[in-house]
Structures are given as C-alpha cells and as structure tokens.
A and B are shown apart, each in its own frame.
Chain A
Amino acid sequence: MKRSSIIYTILCLLALSIVSCDKSDDPDDNDPDMVLIATAMTDAQTFQVALYANDTLFEGYNKLYISIKEASSTDQVTDAAIVLKPLMDMIDMVHAAPVENPAGVANEEGLFEAAVVFIMPSTDMMGWTLDVQVETADKDETAVFEIPLVRSLEESRKFNVISPLDETKYFVSLVEPMAAEVGINDCEFTVHYKESMMSFPPAEDLTIEIEPEMPSMDHGSPNNEHPVHTADGHYEGKVNFTMTGWWRIHMVIKKNGDVLTDDAYIDITLE
C-alpha cells in the first residue's frame, strides 16, 4: 500500500509538470537562455508586463525583453511606445541609468527589446526600480518594477571614466551577451555620459582602441580591429583570442585626440 501510494504521488507530480510545461508559452520556458526577472501590472491594471533578460541582471549592459499582455484577454501587445526609467534611490540622492528604449513594435516572439546599463550593483540597502511606461493608441500606463538584484560581477563588464578635460563621467560597457570563443570575435561596446543625475545620453564622438592580453602569460593576439562608432553610442570592432583562458581587453579612449583614459580594461574568460 505504502509503495503504491509513493508511485502514485510520483506519477501525479510527473503529470503535473508535463501539463504545466505544455500550457506555458512564456519565453523562459521556450528559450533556455531567457530568464524571467519580474512581472508587474501597470498602474491602471490594463497590462501585465513581464521583464526577461539573458541572465540575471548585473552591473553593466543588460539586454531586456519586455512582454506586454492585456490583463483582460491575455492577448500579447505588439504595438506600443515604451519608455524605460531605471532609478536608484541612494538615500541622499536619486539617479537614473543609460537606457535604450524599444522600437515601437515587438520582435517575432512578441517581445519588446530594450537595454539598460546598470551603472552600479544593488545592495541590501539600495536597489534599482524600473518604470516601464506603456503607451498604446488609447492607453498610457506605467508598470513599476522592483528589480530584485543587480549583481556586481567578478569579471567587470563595465567601467567608468572621468574625463580629465571637463570632468564628464563616461560609462563604458561591453555589450552582452558576447559568446566569446577561440578565434575572431565581434565585440561591441556602448559609451554613455552623465549629463545630469537623470540623463545619460550616448557618447558618439569617441575613438576606442583595444588591445587584448593574457595577463598571466604576457602575450596578446594579433589582427584585432578597433571598435568604431555605429549608432547610438555603440562601437563595434573585432577581438581575437588564440586560446581559452583569461583575457584582458585593454582600452584607450580618446575624444578629439585627447586621451580620456589609457589604463581601462575589461576581462573576459573563455572556458
């Protein structure tokens, strides 16, 4: 009797898990690379907004995927103007972060693609919130997310530069995910600068030079391509890795020929 009841329980659990899998069409179940960060209702309860990312959020450039459904019908909203407002409340001050707002239409999976550069990690005392303003033909509502965690990474994906010329603060981030492997790799950086506590526009007039190195081996790699500006503060280049292991991409950043920094770097480890 006892044994059969255990088997029955297991069978039920199995059945349940199969059923729950089947009926789900959330991106994180379909796409193992997608992580659900948080869900929230807009202030008038019209839309259910879900926030996905490639990984749990970290300090640096995070691509976000936003799913918007009508709460009443669970129909996916694919046409909306969306504005993101990340905020961190630091007791004595509040600041925002660089964002890249989605285009007005969702991608093939019905998700709006956006990005936020979290310029600092969250702590127990201070966290990030993210306002997602959804504006459709007849509605304009905002969902407020409490971001559960923004990790600081062991291997930093971003650094700050304070210009020796005018004290402007720049935020340089590696565009993730970068599936680095041995060989030629596309590498993309974003640079934003701080105009005010609430405004971080892209910096579009910089020159970036990169030089990869294996710090513990004292060698680099040849034939890298310095990133050049494409649009909206994005700089694209090529970086070459001759083996797996720990690489450091040294960066020199210049503005109109003046060096903003020449000792910055981003670390990348290839497994």
Chain B
Amino acid sequence: MKNSGWIIILFCNLTLTQAQDLFTEFDTIRLEEFTITQRIPLNDQSVLDLSRSSRFSSIDKINGRLEGISLIKRGAYALEPQMDGFSGGQINVTVDGMRMFGACTDRMDPVTSYIEPDNLESFNITHGTSGSRNGNTVGGSFDMILREPVIGQTEGMLVETGLGYESVSNGINANGALEVNREKWAFRTSGTYRNHNSYRGGDGIKVPYSYFKKINLHSVVKYDLGKNNTLRFDFLLDDAVDVGYPALPMDVGKAKARMYAVEIERLDAYRTVSQLKAKLYFNSVYHLMDDSNRDSTFRLTDENGAPSDTVYMRMDMPGWSDTFGFFMEGGASLGEKSHIYVKLDDYLNYSRAYMTMFMNYPEYPGEPPMYTETWPDVFRNVAGIFIRNTTRVSNSVNVNLEGRLDMSQTRVTSETGHRQFAIFGYDIDRGYFELPKSLNLSANFRTNGVTRLDAGAGYAERLPTTSEQFGFFLYNALDGFDYLGNPEIGLERSTHFWGNLHFTWPELKVSIRNRFSYVSDYIIGLIDPEIPQMNLYASGVKRYDNIPAALLYGTSLQLQWDPGAYLTFYTLLRYTYGRTGEGDPLPLIPPLRNTSICKFRKGIFSVQMEGEFSSDQNRINSGFGENPTPAFAIYHLRNSFHWLVKETVIEVGAGIENIFDKAYSEHLDWGNFLRPGRSIYLNLRVII
C-alpha cells in the first residue's frame, strides 16, 4: 500500500516538473536485447544531442542509472556496482570479456573504477544466472565494451577536447581523444583527467576525505589483415592518487591499473562459422591504502570496555592483483533454425595483499612493526567452456539453452599464509579444486510488432572470492568486524527465474522486468565469538560461511515517451527485496527508487530536468551495521548548446545538480555520509 502511494506521488512529481530539462546519457531502452548502448558516432547529430552533458559524467553516474544496477558507495569515487542485491564475487565485472580483479582487500577498487565513459562503447548486462558467458555467476554479468576505431569507411581524423568544472567539489574534469581512420588501419586514443576536492554535502558542510584525483588513458590500434581478419591491440592505464573514502578509516594513496590485450577477429570465416575471435590479455592492478591524513589515534579499553589508553598507529596496506588470460569464441549455424555459440576461456589470477602496522604507543616506544598477510599469495586458475544454442521454434518464438562448466584450481603459496591459517585449524597446503557449472533455459515470444515476452529459468554456481576463502582479518567499516576467510567454504548456488514484458509503440516504450533468485549456500560473514579481532577499531570477528538460503527479487518498470520531435520523457522505477532463508533482511538492499527525466530539445539548445526519488529503507540488518535511511527527492537541471562552425562542433553545457541542496544519502552509502549538495557545473567541448 505504502509503495503504491509512492508510485502515484512519483508520477505526480514527474508531471509537475515536466517541461524542465534533461539528459539521458544513453539510449536506455533497447528492447531487442539486454544491451544498453552508449555508442556515440560523433558525426551523428541526434545522438550527440542526447549524450550532451554525459561527456563528463563519471562511470558511476552512468551505472547508477542503469536498470537493475545500484551502487555501493564508500567515497566520492570508485563506487561498487550491485545487481539486484548481488555484488562483489556474486557478479562478473569484465572488460571486453576479460577477467579483472581489484587489488583492494576492502573492495575500494571495483573494476568499473578503471574505466572512463570516454573509453566505453557500451555495456553488456545480463542478470542472474544467465550472465555466465564470461564465467559462472549467480548475480549477473556486467561487461564493459571498450571503444574501438573503425577501419576503412571514410578516411579521416578526429580530435576532441573538453573541459568541465563542478562547483560542489571545486573539481576539474578534462578529456581529449584522437582518432585516425585509414583504409587498412585505425587508431584511437583517449584520456581523461579528474581532480576533485572534498565536496560539500547538502547541509553546507564539507564531507571530509571525499577528494580524488585520477588519469585514465586508453589506446587501440586495429589492423586489417585481409580476408576479413582484423588484429587489435589495446592498452589501458588508470592511475588514481589521493582518493578519499569518508566511510572508511583510511584512504587510497595510489590505485594503478594496466591492461594489455591482443585480439584477432575473423568475420564470416565460413558460411556456417561466423565471428571467430581469440583474445590474449594481461592486466595488473596495484592498490595502496593510506591513512596518513587520518587522526589514527585509537583508544584501548579495559576488561569492562571503559577507555584505558590511547595508541597511535599507521598502517601500510599494499595489494596486487594480476590476471593473465585468453579466450576463443565463435558461432556457427546448425541448419536453418539453430545457431550455436562456443566460448573457451582460461585465466590465472594472482592476488596478494599485506598489512604492516606501525605503533606509536607512548608507554612502549620503539615497538617493532606488525606484519600479516591479508591475502597470502593466492593463485587461482579457472578454465571454462560455455555453449549456447539458440533455436528458432517459429517466427515468434526463440528458445535459448546455454551451459557452462568451469574448472578452478586455487592455491596459496605463501608459507606465512599457511601458518596463519593453521592457527584456525586449516591445513591449506593443498590445491582447492572446484567445478562450478550453470545451465539456463530461456525463451522469447514476440506477438505482433508490439509485445514481447522473455522468460527463463537457470541454475548456476559461483566460486568464493579471494577474501571469502583466504582473506585474513579484513576490516569491514560498515559493520565494524574483521572478516576471516574460510578455506573450506563451498560454492554459492542460485536458482533463478525471470520474466520480462516489453511493449513497443512508435512513441512509447514500456518494459517490465522481474527477476527472482533462490540462493543456497549463500556466502556471508557470521560472528565467531571465539576469535579476537585484530584491528584496533574492530568490534569482533566474522568468518565467511555458507548459510542455507537467501531470496532475492528485483523488479523494474521502465518507460520512455517521445511525444513529438522536441520532447522526451523517461522514467525508471525499481525495487529490490532480499532476505535470508530465516527471514532476516539481507544487508545493503536498495529501497524503491525512481529516476525520471524530461528533455526538451530544439535547434542548438536542449534543456533537461531530472528527478531522483527514493523511498525510505527500514528493512535493514543491523548486524551488518546498517541504519534506516530516510526517503529523499532531488532534482537536477541541465542545459546545453551546440554550434557547428565549419567542421568544428562546439558544445557548452551548464546545469545544477541537486538544485534544492538536499542533504541526503542513499541506503547503499556506507556510514550515511552525505551525497553532494547543490553543484553548478559548466562544460565546454570542441570536436574538430
């Protein structure tokens, strides 16, 4: 009842605020496939129009608006994507199908933080168990497709530069791109620089440690080898320094990522075999946490919990994650009505992280540093095969059957790591072998040109993450516990059902999506009162374990209306529900939310009004440090102008985000620190 009331209020809101302004970063509704495309062919005036102010959006701002995606926020930067309540190791975040893993034991560096919208062509998002193309997953896959230049076509060269300013953080965004297209080859390089100070919340007070600075560079070269073969090299660099995390007891001094890939693609190789692709890649992530800007004074307590003394501590916490892998994929027609797609892949990940604590306890000067291995040299090799068969049963019905089998071997090579886990009764001096698998069956029905129904069911298993299996006293600032990995932890398993209904009329598109997961052996941290915590600020220890069951449900309503040539209305309403088998709410489940956009564009001018609305969230799990979050409504106004001067496009964007300076935070924001207050931004972009 309460929820339906909300929906009415939201729609009223939308009508009231119509005729204000807009921005859609991408064409959000693509009914034919679960792909959300942000492709921006730069000479396409209409798409340019739509994507206007998006050029300086961070990838987080884009992700946060995607259907089924929410963001876990610990700072102003590097928000972690969550899909229908699944996050971390439950979802597969990949770049062009390449596996990559963050190097932070505290999940401060999700893979999405290494990609900028400037080098992003599109997302390939698949929900639940059906996202297993790039690796078995229970929560879905989030593949970021990198932009590539086009060979042949019209020979040309394109230079693009942009500069933006945001008042709330006194922040600068700058980017530049160069693309060269020739008959036999093409090259593209793009770079982004961002430098933001701590931003001001809606209450007028600066949110401490919410600053960040980063550069990102992506270069691609493509060669035409003839006979439909192309060779492609990718290089990506992302360096962030001095990134503050208001929700955590420490910041990041340095976060570095490098990515190298070489790919051969063969199109229409034979009549029946199509799209053969082979890719070899390596990526390396380095993450260094830094608490030198923090107070770092900790209070010791006596047996009764009363303060007894203070110590001063500095920590050195580096982490590395290197991934080397390859995959081969290809499709083939099996007769008239059937198509088969096969992917073979293998990756080797090497993750390690260490912690050294330097104490300065006045009573005990000169104390030696303390050292422990938080990820004790963990090697994991996963080889897999994925097969999908699509059969056209009739002109209106397609049936899709896909399966995947992975073979995983995990080994800890550090002697210290072995001894650390021996304390807890584990003998980890052996390889851990697993065979995660998945099977999905789905069908889509197209009635007339208007209605389409997708429905399916699937089962999948996923591997535990490095932290869940071998993490050693990883501090979680949300619930205040140290987390201990469980070497014997089992695979998480999900049975997943989904049903999506789409209506497409020329002026109106509507999508209703429903996804339900029954997860068994759900991996979660359980309090172990026997183990004393290690970090000074921790209140106990949780050990990762499999609990019998959890239920997750996600639904959304998406609507886009284009009445006439000048106006676009767009709204997305989404809701997620999660509980354990025993009925306790799962932690970090977003409440009912709505994003509504109204855009008017005419000639060189466009104006866009946006509203973001969230209900309160009182279904919380206080055992995981959650607090109830109140409802909020915020509004943004965006304007842009563009001129074509000979061959040059000049674009100016200006707007106000959080117009009414609302002091708010979203439910998935750790520690309830405030989101940015009112911010005025100004962008200039020139394309030659």
What 1/0 flags go to A208-245 for Cβ under 8 Å of B? Answer: 00000011111111110000000000000000111111
| Contact between chains at A182 and B420 (CB < 8 Å) | yes
| Contact between chains at B423 and A218 (CB < 8 Å) | no
Using A218-B300, A245-B371 as known contacts, say yes or no to A183 and B419 having CB atoms under 8 A apart: yes
| Contact between chains at B359 and A242 (CB < 8 Å) | no
Q: Which residues of B contact A245 (CB under 8 A)?
A: 357, 359, 367-371
Using A218-B300, A218-B301, A242-B372 as known contacts, say yes or no to A181 and B419 having CB atoms under 8 A apart: yes
| Contact between chains at B424 and A222 (CB < 8 Å) | yes
Using A244-B369, A246-B368, A271-B368 as known contacts, say yes or no to A217 and B420 having CB atoms under 8 A apart: no
Q: Does B292 contact A (CB under 8 A)?
A: no
Smallest Cβ distance from A231 to chain B, in angstroms? 27
* Docked complex: B518-536 residues within 8 A CB-CB of A: 530-534, 536
Which of B301, B418, B422 has most chain A Cβ within 10 Å? B422
Q: Which residues of A contact B423 (CB under 8 A)?
A: 183-184, 221-223, 240-242
Q: Which single residue of chain B is at the shortest CB-CB distance from A212?
A: B532
Contact among A216, A221, A241, A244 with B364 in the assembled complex (CB-CB below 8 Å): A216
| Alpha-carbon gap, A79 to B14, bound state (A) | 101
Q: Which single residue of chain B is at the shortest CB-CB distance from A214?
A: B370
| Contact between chains at B536 and A182 (CB < 8 Å) | no
| Contact between chains at A183 and B422 (CB < 8 Å) | yes
| Alpha-carbon gap, A269 to B359, bound state (A) | 14
Contact among A184, A215, A218, A220 with B422 in the assembled complex (CB-CB below 8 Å): A184
Contact among A217, A222, A241 with B531 in the assembled complex (CB-CB below 8 Å): A222
Q: Does B416 contact A (CB under 8 A)?
A: yes
Q: Which residues of A contact B364 (CB under 8 A)?
A: 215-216, 246
| Alpha-carbon gap, A219 to B372, bound state (A) | 14
Q: Does B564 contact A (CB under 8 A)?
A: no
What 1/0 flags go to A244-270 for Cβ under 8 Å of B? Answer: 111000000000000000000000010
| Alpha-carbon gap, A181 to B414, bound state (A) | 14
Interface residue count for B (Cβ, 8 Å)? 30
Using A182-B419, A217-B534, A244-B372 as known contacts, say yes or no to A223 and B367 having CB atoms under 8 A apart: no
| Contact between chains at A243 and B311 (CB < 8 Å) | no
Q: Which single residue of chain B is at the shortest CB-CB distance from A213?
A: B532
Smallest Cβ distance from A235 to chain B, in angstroms? 21
| Contact between chains at B532 and A216 (CB < 8 Å) | no
Q: Does B664 contact A (CB under 8 A)?
A: no
Q: Which single residue of chain B is at the shortest CB-CB distance from A183?
A: B419
Q: Which residues of A contact B532 (CB under 8 A)?
A: 219-222
| Alpha-carbon gap, A244 to B301, bound state (A) | 22
Q: Does B473 contact A (CB under 8 A)?
A: yes
| Alpha-carbon gap, A61 to B425, bound state (A) | 31
| Contact between chains at B536 and A217 (CB < 8 Å) | yes
Q: Does B433 contact A (CB under 8 A)?
A: no
Q: Does B361 contact A (CB under 8 A)?
A: yes
| Contact between chains at A243 and B422 (CB < 8 Å) | no
What 1/0 flags go to A18-48 for Cβ under 8 Å of B? Answer: 0000000000000000000000000000000
Smallest Cβ distance from B215 to chain A, in angstroms? 35
| Alpha-carbon gap, A73 to B374, bound state (A) | 59
Q: Which residues of A contact B367 (CB under 8 A)?
A: 216, 245-246
Q: Which residues of A contact B300 (CB under 8 A)?
A: 218
Using A217-B359, A222-B424, A245-B357 as known contacts, say yes or no to A184 and B368 having CB atoms under 8 A apart: no
| Alpha-carbon gap, A242 to B533, bound state (A) | 10
Q: Which residues of B contact A216 (CB under 8 A)?
A: 311, 359, 361, 364, 367
Q: Which residues of B contact A214 (CB under 8 A)?
A: 370
Q: Which residues of A contact B531 (CB under 8 A)?
A: 222
Smallest Cβ distance from B489 to chain A, in angstroms? 18
Using A182-B419, A244-B372 as known contacts, say yes or no to A223 and B424 having CB atoms under 8 A apart: yes
| Alpha-carbon gap, A240 to B426, bound state (A) | 13
Smallest Cβ distance from A28 to chain B, in angstroms? 28
| Alpha-carbon gap, A241 to B355, bound state (A) | 15
| Alpha-carbon gap, A271 to B533, bound state (A) | 21
What 1/0 flags go to B339-376 for Cβ under 8 Å of A? Answer: 00000000000000001010101001001111110000
Smallest Cβ distance from B392 to chain A, in angstroms? 60
Q: Which residues of A contact B420 (CB under 8 A)?
A: 182-183, 242
| Alpha-carbon gap, A199 to B372, bound state (A) | 45
* Docked complex: A94-138 residues within 8 A CB-CB of B: none
Q: Which single residue of chain B is at the shortest CB-CB distance from A223?
A: B423
| Alpha-carbon gap, A214 to B368, bound state (A) | 12
Q: Which residues of A contact B371 (CB under 8 A)?
A: 182, 243-245
What 1/0 flags go to B392-428 for Cβ under 8 Å of A? Answer: 0000000000000000000000001011101111000
Q: Which residues of A contact B533 (CB under 8 A)?
A: 219
Smallest Cβ distance from B258 to chain A, in angstroms? 31
| Alpha-carbon gap, A219 to B534, bound state (A) | 6
| Contact between chains at A223 and B425 (CB < 8 Å) | yes
What 1/0 flags go to B532-572 for Cβ under 8 Å of A? Answer: 11101000000000000000000000000000000000000
| Alpha-carbon gap, A271 to B372, bound state (A) | 11
Q: Which residues of A contact B368 (CB under 8 A)?
A: 244-246, 269, 271
Smallest Cβ distance from B529 to chain A, in angstroms? 10
Q: Which residues of A contact B424 (CB under 8 A)?
A: 222-223
| Alpha-carbon gap, A222 to B540, bound state (A) | 12
Q: Which single residue of chain A is at the shortest CB-CB distance from B308?
A: A218
Smallest Cβ distance from A226 to chain B, in angstroms? 15
| Alpha-carbon gap, A223 to B541, bound state (A) | 14
Which of A217, A244, A271 has most chain B Cβ within 10 Å? A217
Smallest Cβ distance from B228 to chain A, in angstroms? 57
| Alpha-carbon gap, A146 to B280, bound state (A) | 72
| Alpha-carbon gap, A186 to B534, bound state (A) | 22
| Contact between chains at B419 and A184 (CB < 8 Å) | yes
| Alpha-carbon gap, A215 to B359, bound state (A) | 11
Smallest Cβ distance from B533 to chain A, in angstroms? 6
Q: Which residues of A contact B359 (CB under 8 A)?
A: 216-217, 245
* Docked complex: B288-305 residues within 8 A CB-CB of A: 300-301
Smallest Cβ distance from B516 to chain A, in angstroms? 40
Smallest Cβ distance from B247 to chain A, in angstroms? 23
Smallest Cβ distance from A141 to chain B, in angstroms? 47
Smallest Cβ distance from A98 to chain B, in angstroms? 31
Q: Which single residue of chain B is at the shortest CB-CB distance from A247?
A: B370
* Docked complex: A171-215 residues within 8 A CB-CB of B: 181-184, 214-215
| Alpha-carbon gap, A221 to B421, bound state (A) | 12
Q: Which single residue of chain B is at the shortest CB-CB distance from A240?
A: B423
Q: Which single residue of chain A is at the shortest CB-CB distance from B373?
A: A182
* Docked complex: B419-469 residues within 8 A CB-CB of A: 419-420, 422-425
Smallest Cβ distance from A106 to chain B, in angstroms? 34
List residues of B whose CB falls within 8 A of some A CB. 300-301, 311, 355, 357, 359, 361, 364, 367-372, 416, 418-420, 422-425, 472-473, 530-534, 536
List residues of A whose CB falls within 8 A of some B CB. 181-184, 214-223, 240-246, 269, 271
User: Across chains A and B, which 8 residue pairs bring their CB atoms closest together, nearest first?
Assistant: A183-B419, A245-B370, A243-B372, A216-B361, A240-B423, A244-B371, A220-B532, A218-B300
Given contacts A183-B423, A244-B369, 18 further A-B contacts (CB under 8 A): A181-B419, A182-B372, A182-B419, A182-B420, A184-B423, A215-B364, A216-B359, A216-B361, A219-B534, A223-B425, A223-B530, A240-B423, A242-B420, A242-B472, A243-B357, A243-B534, A244-B370, A244-B371
Query: What are 18 pairs between A and B in contact, CB < 8 Å?
Result: A181-B419, A183-B422, A184-B422, A215-B364, A216-B311, A216-B364, A216-B367, A217-B311, A217-B370, A219-B533, A219-B534, A219-B536, A221-B423, A222-B530, A242-B472, A243-B370, A245-B370, A246-B370
